[in-house]
Structure 1
């Protein structure tokens, strides 16, 4: 059936609409092609993109529909960055995409440096649609060690082969990028295969969907779905397993024994780890569905220090080089460490304190003097003399009024009489005259209060040993010149950056050690103090240096620098957001504290913390020993000595 050609006026109208559409595309590119500060500082010499005629055939008309459906379903809220080179293969798709309202930039790539400048995430959600005829620039950039990469961006790569996409997803940058989607044309006309990156699997790329006959083969599935909230049982590299034909790899956690956060014990089943940090990691594994394998840093390196060449030793070094995925062992969040690792949301905090030796208690015989201060003793001696003198004056001055007992007949006998009252000794005879009786009665009241106060305090000081004065403040520690010991150089930098002059002064006596076992003997000798977090000091003091309720070490009263404790992950780890979410819920629910208390109970059950030795002191009355009462024997010895001296004097003078 023949149809008449359209009227000339209608043809002109269609042509004018077509030209207007082309002009709109060019105008959109001009308006939305903005330059970042880096681009403004270093012009890249990009030529203006010239779209091809709409009458020219596209690579595949079905690709246009695929991109439109994908952007409409999953990228409506994202800023789009269109990246292309001088290849004319995808001009039609670029022309259509420029008409979208969320296109923010159009970048032409001539060199790898051009591509680096294009990878700057500028919003909460940035999607990079990459149309490159030369694939080498993107593959080279993904293998480099520089930071020019948006790890949170969504990368949609068109035209790469599955092998090239595998290389991209497995690259140092690709394996930490949350979303990489490859769109690959198949041998079937109009059919496109879609590949997405996955984490911690043997293969870094999986086929996730297909586009055929203008629709997705699995229309209900997101192409850029969450990959870290369920890691599908990722396990150790040395042990592989398969589930639905998917081989999984590593979830390695670097840790070491560091009580009370990480405990190591051995039982019939071998080595067992427990503690608050281990519990946290295990819960993360259950929630995010991964298996945990613990690995340890080299002996003595612990958290690690920065080397002269910029690399790190210890746990930080394992994360820096990819030997571990997580670090957990009471890790302090610090600016220095943040240069090589990322930290999760903090889930606990600790003060930095000083562990010092508990000085031996003063001898028990000195307890006789402890109930009263020195000036109180001097006042009591003066009161004794004044009371005796006043009693003598009253007794002798009233002799004209009547006789008085012989015990008050001289100054010496009045002093002896008054001293006996102070010792709560009963008097065989009482004064005869009312005036003297009134004076002695007031003395009885005075002495009753005095002796009750002394006896009460004396009992306490006899039972409880009195420690000598010791270093308790940072200022006293600095003036003492004692060595300040720490593990590695972390605390030296912390002291040097402190705002307090006394803390800064401790850097002069600070000494870094590789092992706790070289520090603790020096602490017990009193030649050093150990700078560490408060929970560790409290636990070690209770578990290793407390016998019969007496601790050989103590924590100084003055601490400094509260540090947040978090998990450490590799730089730009895709797990960080999900880890933060779970850790926040654990912290807010109070489970972190519960795990801590539970680990202490487990540790107490696994080892003897001296509870049986302290049982008699904790359960009731403490029987007094000779050590408690050595003071009374000292008084008896002094009495014997004084009596013997007086007796010899009488013999010589008599």
Structure 2
């Protein structure tokens, strides 16, 4: 059904329901409304590009045309009535974006029909929204809490009220808060009574609403089987992304609930016109944030909000290490086949030439030396053997043979040195390291079937190598872990494909670190981001906080800590996983780590309700922190950078088990902020 048809249907419903026309505003109310609009256009909204939308009741006001003319004289205004408003008539940049300001003036319930129409698509989302309700009988708070209104990052509502027989305009907005069961909702917050000149600037009119979430609980669309970002550990979930969310939650004053697995046990792909898995939970099941391994794709960008990318990674392949070549072949390994051919050809050529020259020189003399003996003289120098029986008449040839003896010594020394190395270290055949080589090899690929996009993407690829891999792909079921995949890798018949970080972990869990390797080539490398429902107003706030963690090096530190914790202390000083494609893991874990699909009952029993980190408990002037093991200087800088208050005077940090006192300084946003480090016993 077209948008015009929807408007006609909604108008018919209103008429059939017998809706009464709103009371006509009094002369005093009309005059006050005109003063408010004139104040807005002459002060905070001056020189703003603006979209002005009004209902029919406001349009028939005798002085609305005068106010509209004033708007046109001071600003760039696009004006429309609610009945005539069509999103298709406006380019996207006029109804969506941080630089778009929309003014909606209404005095009847027609505004609800207008908002319901806007909710049919994701198009409407002005960065700044001003609502003016000029009729006290209209349910203005209901308008303020409409889902379309809450899309805007900055918003303010002016509602007409009668107080002590006098008409006034009361300003309010909607701030995040903890609703039923602590879940994130929005509560009306009064801004005070409007007076001329009170909101003189745009910053006075619009206040930032997402500096404090007021202990709200965010519901995660998550799957605790995504090492090292979020995975099961003990009776709960942990991971580098959860720790990063802990830090952000401490700054913004919110907690979260972890979903152990999606309802349909799919990762999150667009299938048959609908989103599945965690993406489906964001769209249909009231989840508010997804922090698992998700790429930025055109489809996800169209239907969801996403943060700045925090990591780049792709899918890797794990194959069985080929067995070492037979030891007796080590005699041939020091030289390649080309070098061996040149050496043999040179020995034969020099031997024949030496024998010919010798016979030519002594053809008039009787000499019993045959050609074989002369050839052995040449060959013996190559194998570093002395000549004990040389003819007496060849003194002149010693000068001719000098370069040959020198070359023979160099070649034999090179061979001997390389032979020692090859006899000491086993020699393996050349490994498969590229996608094209894997496609040509007599090896199939395997993957767990958990609803990932890779199987379909391989089959639909225009690249011949990727398409060949898609045709050779064998899926094994979810719920049995990665043991079937490990067995196929160990048998040498398949290569296991999975995200690079997760593949490193599975290599250790399956005890394949000494018998397998991870191929250097990756497929479907991309940028990873956190995803939120479309038009979420606090997307930018979460994104900037995540970017601060990335720029401060904290995300990389968290990633390495979780990789090192799983892989063991031997890799503490090595760069693990991403960015180190040459590294091969040779460790075996002694502790148990649950892999994707293992122990479903344990996963379902796991709940995470409002877990909060103890660091960064904010007061008005101090930052108090505990737990020395988790203290990080970059975190302090990140915390101060994101503090809502402008000038924190001091940061007080309690760490350690000894008493000592020192003063240090950390540059934050171009300013030096003193940090008082107090090591207090017993913490």
Q: 1:521 to 1:302 in 2, by over 3 A?
A: farther
Larger helix proportion of the pair = 1
Cross-structure match for 1:447: 408
Query: What is the CA distance between 1:376 and its match in structure 2?
Result: 3.0
Larger strand proportion of the pair = 2
Say if 1:116 and 1:149, in contact at 8 Å, map to a contact too.
no
Query: What is the CA distance between 1:85 and its match in structure 2?
Result: 1.6
Say if 1:199 and 1:227, in contact at 8 Å, map to a contact too.
yes
Q: CA RMSD in A?
A: 4.6
Cross-structure match for 2:298: 335
Cross-structure match for 1:459: 420
Which of 523, 533, 536 is matched with 2:489 structurally? 523
Query: What is the CA distance between 1:527 and its match in structure 2?
Result: 2.8
Q: 1:172 to 1:497 in 2, by over 3 A?
A: farther
Which of 149, 159, 166 is matched with 1:183 structurally? 159
Cross-structure match for 2:270: 306
Alignment deviations for residues 117-169 of structure 1 (CA, whole Å, 9 cap, x no partner): 79976162222222132347447607954446335351404057799444444
The number of residue pairs the alignment matches comes to: 538
Alignment deviations for residues 433-475 of structure 1 (CA, whole Å, 9 cap, x no partner): 5246557655542331121110122233233433324444433
SS in 1 for 2:532: strand
Q: TM-score, normalised by structure 2?
A: 0.65
Cross-structure match for 1:361: 324
Which of 119, 122, 126 is matched with 2:94 structurally? 122
Equivalent residues in 2 for 1:640-651 (5 A)?
none
Q: 1:429 to 1:150 in 2, by over 3 A?
A: same
Say if 1:165 and 1:205, in contact at 8 Å, map to a contact too.
no
Which of 22, 27, 52 is matched with 1:81 structurally? 52
SS in 2 for 1:330: coil
Q: 1:353 to 1:130 in 2, by over 3 A?
A: same
Say if 1:353 and 1:532, in contact at 8 Å, map to a contact too.
yes
Q: 1:377 to 1:134 in 2, by over 3 A?
A: closer
Alignment deviations for residues 273-315 of structure 1 (CA, whole Å, 9 cap, x no partner): 232x34543443344443344333338836322343x332222
Distance in structure 1 (CA, Å) of the matches to 2:142 and 2:53: 22
Say if 1:362 and 1:467, in contact at 8 Å, map to a contact too.
yes
Alignment deviations for residues 499-535 of structure 1 (CA, whole Å, 9 cap, x no partner): 5343344433345566571544433433333444555
Distance in structure 2 (CA, Å) of the matches to 1:574 and 1:368: 70
SS in 1 for 2:454: helix
| 1:134 counterpart = 2:109 | yes
Which of 217, 224, 230 is matched with 1:256 structurally? 224
Say if 1:232 and 1:290, in contact at 8 Å, map to a contact too.
yes
SS in 2 for 1:122: helix
Distance in structure 1 (CA, Å) of the matches to 2:197 and 2:165: 14
Give the unaligned 5+ runs of structure 1.
1-37, 47-54, 237-249, 615-654
Query: What is the CA distance between 1:215 and its match in structure 2?
Result: 7.8
Query: What is the CA distance between 1:93 and its match in structure 2?
Result: 5.3
Cross-structure match for 2:463: 500
Q: 1:603 to 1:430 in 2, by over 3 A?
A: same
Distance in structure 1 (CA, Å) of the matches to 2:426 and 2:549: 43
Give the unaligned 5+ runs of structure 2.
12-24, 180-184, 575-683
Which of 189, 193, 217 is matched with 1:207 structurally? 189
Distance in structure 2 (CA, Å) of the matches to 1:304 and 1:212: 47
Say if 1:538 and 1:555, in contact at 8 Å, map to a contact too.
no
Distance in structure 2 (CA, Å) of the matches to 1:360 and 1:377: 25
Distance in structure 1 (CA, Å) of the matches to 2:414 and 2:92: 77
SS in 1 for 2:274: coil
SS in 2 for 1:572: coil
| 1:107 counterpart = 2:76 | no
Q: 1:210 to 1:219 in 2, by over 3 A?
A: farther
Distance in structure 2 (CA, Å) of the matches to 1:321 and 1:170: 19
Cross-structure match for 1:224: 206
Distance in structure 2 (CA, Å) of the matches to 1:602 and 1:280: 12
Alignment deviations for residues 518-553 of structure 1 (CA, whole Å, 9 cap, x no partner): 544433433333444555556655786665xx5612
SS in 2 for 1:453: helix
The higher radius of gyration belongs to 1
Say if 2:52 and 2:79, in contact at 8 Å, map to a contact too.
yes
SS in 1 for 2:249: helix
| 1:96 counterpart = 2:60 | no
Q: 1:606 to 1:552 in 2, by over 3 A?
A: closer
Distance in structure 1 (CA, Å) of the matches to 2:321 and 2:264: 27
Of the structure 1 ranges 314-323 and 394-403, higher mean CA displacement relative to structure 2 is found in: 394-403
Cross-structure match for 2:35: 65
Alignment deviations for residues 549-584 of structure 1 (CA, whole Å, 9 cap, x no partner): x56122144x45541221111111112223343445
Distance in structure 2 (CA, Å) of the matches to 1:355 and 1:169: 54
Which of 235, 251, 259 is matched with 2:216 structurally? 235
